[in-house]
Amino acid sequence: MLELLEKVYEQYEASLELVKDFKIDKKKIDNVVFCGMGASGVVSDIVKDYVYDEVKVPVIVNKNSNIPGFVNKNSLVFVISHSGHSKEILSCYKKAKEKRAQIISITGNRKLNWKNKLLIPDNTKFGRVVLYYSLFPILVILSKYGVIKNKDKEINKALRAIKGFKDQKKAEKVARKLYKKMPVIRSSFAYRSVGYYWKTQLNELSKVFVVQNFYPEINHNEIEAVFGNKLEIVELKEKKKDLASMLYYMHSADWVGYYLAKMNKVDPLKTLVIDKLKK
């Protein structure tokens, strides 16, 4: 696990090579639909939040086996699955194809006969790599379709932030605060997907239950909840929304999850319950 964390920068960087020569058949786009479960769904959430203020068409993140009724030939549908075995995503691909949508598929499964396939490395059982290898390519593809601005500068800034990450000790300190507590992750609306990333990382790596919410929604419900000494609140604060800051917080979650897993004496790479459910 430690080796994987130390190579996150390399994976983000390598993803740009994967998409450099990726060809698209540019047509009119009325909406964008992301289909993905687990980490594939999280990267979709991250993209949706990041482009929220500028995207020129509606963006939907779809996390089930069906697709929205409005999908048609003018829909751009991203079908994302690292393994290529997620039954929900296989179903989404079939239905998007039936509706003649413009499909971009991202997978590590070389055997899948999917249209417009961006092939990512499949030499790891760590499903989170789908996020590292697909985030930047998705932004590049969206800019090629003209639904967002070119993000080369923002991507390079984000890469520098990950490469220069030196807050492992800070992450370990946060993990110590969370040890034997129920984490409560809070963020702004703009960073709600980053907060959700924290939740899923702590769920999967550290095997802990996590509460996650965002402002201002918290002010309309959760603020009334009684917090005892069994809960530990983590506030994700940002001065402004940018890709570098989002990735910094996400990489912090990777490290916090790793350290908390060590404290809980669990293997962060094993997902026995998830694996059993898939069978």
d(CA 276, CA 11): 28
- Tell me what the mean pLDDT of segment 146-175 comes to: 95
pLDDT number for residue 115: 80
pLDDT for residue 123: 62
pLDDT in tens, 100-126: 999 999 998 877 888 889 988 876 656
Q: What percent of the chain has pLDDT over 70?
A: 97
Count of CB atoms situated within 10 Å of the CB of 195: 24
b/e code 166-177 from CB counts within 10 Å (16+ = b): eebeebbebbee
pLDDT band at 146, cuts 50/70/90?
very high
2-158 has which fold?
Rossmann fold (3.40.50)
User: What are the tens digits of pLDDT across the range 218-241?
Assistant: 999 998 887 777 899 999 988 778
- Contacts of residue 93, Cβ cutoff 8 Å, sequence gap at least 6: 35, 79, 103, 105, 114
- Write down the domain spans for the chain: 2-158, 166-275
User: What type of residue is 87?
Assistant: K
- Stretch 6-28: mean pLDDT, rounded? 89
What single letter denotes the amino acid at residue 80? I
Residue-level pLDDT at 124: 60
Give the residue ranges of DSSP H helices in the chain.
Answer: 2-6, 8-20, 39-50, 87-98, 129-145, 152-163, 168-178, 192-201, 243-264, 272-278
Torsions phi, psi of 270, nearest 5?
Answer: -90, 130
Q: How confident is the model at residue 53 (pLDDT cuts 50, 70, 90)?
A: very high
Give me the pLDDT at residue 125, please.
59
Please tell me the predicted confidence (pLDDT) of residue 29.
94
Q: Is the pLDDT of residue 185 over 70?
A: yes
For 59-104, how does the pLDDT look when each residue is reduced to its tens digit (9 = 90+)? 999 999 999 999 999 999 999 998 888 899 999 999 999 999 999 9
The DSSP letter of residue 224 is G
207-211 average pLDDT score = 97
pLDDT at 274: 76
Could you name the CATH architecture of 166-275? 3-Layer(aba) Sandwich (3.40)
Give dist(CA 238, CA 12) in Å, integer. 22
5's CB contacts (< 8 A; 6+ apart) are 254, 255, 258
Whether 2-158 and 166-275 share one fold: the answer is yes
Confidence of residue 3 (pLDDT cuts 50, 70, 90): confident
Is residue 277 predicted with pLDDT exceeding 70? Answer: yes
